[in-house]
Amino acid sequence: MNRVGIGYDVHPLVSGRRLVLGGVDIPHDKGLEGHSDADALLHAIVDAVLGALGESDIGTFFPNSDPRWKNVASSLFLKEAAYQVQRCNGQIINIDATVIAQAPKIAPHIQEMKAAIAAALGISVRQVGIKATTNEWLGFIGRGEGIAAMAVASIQLPETHGQS
């Protein structure tokens, strides 16, 4: 059976942190604030994969109240999401995601992001789609105060998954 999940994440940009998106360090004068490395793109993908499984969100698996996850690379969370699919004898079909950021330019980093995401999920780069857009100078994203990401994950599960 084919299942689809959606994920969304947003973090504020702050001085004194490095910017990590899609598992890639991106040169910028600010970074995303959060308990882990605050990689909004990977967090959205994790939520999409977990949602496709019918599971709860990233905060249930990796609560920001747990000191174990302080400054951890979000690729660890993505690997756990892939493990949850594998544990259900499932297969990730594809990931499609969009980063919404006024700055910096995301396009030059997309191929490296796709490779990092594919490696963490154990899938082909061809199964990962990433797009980037601005917020046309509107709202907190347009003012450069934060970055958001949304993602969709499609997974294939055995017909017996979740049946009592």
Digit-by-digit pLDDT tens for the chain (164 residues) are: 999 999 999 999 999 999 999 999 999 999 999 989 999 999 999 999 999 999 989 888 887 787 777 778 999 999 999 999 999 999 999 999 999 999 999 999 999 999 999 999 999 999 999 999 999 999 999 999 999 999 999 999 998 766 54
CA angle at residue 141 from 139 to 146, to 5 degrees?
A: 130
Nearest-10 crossing angle of helices 110-121, 75-87 = 40
- 128-133 vs 91-100, strand pairing mode: parallel
Domains and CATH numbers, the chain: 2-156 (3.30.1330.50)
What local confidence, expressed as pLDDT, does residue 164 receive?
47
* Whole-number pLDDT of residue 63: 77
- pLDDT for residue 163: 58
Check: CB of residue 141 under 8 Å from CB of residue 147. Answer: yes
CA–CA dist 91, 105 (Å, integer):
32
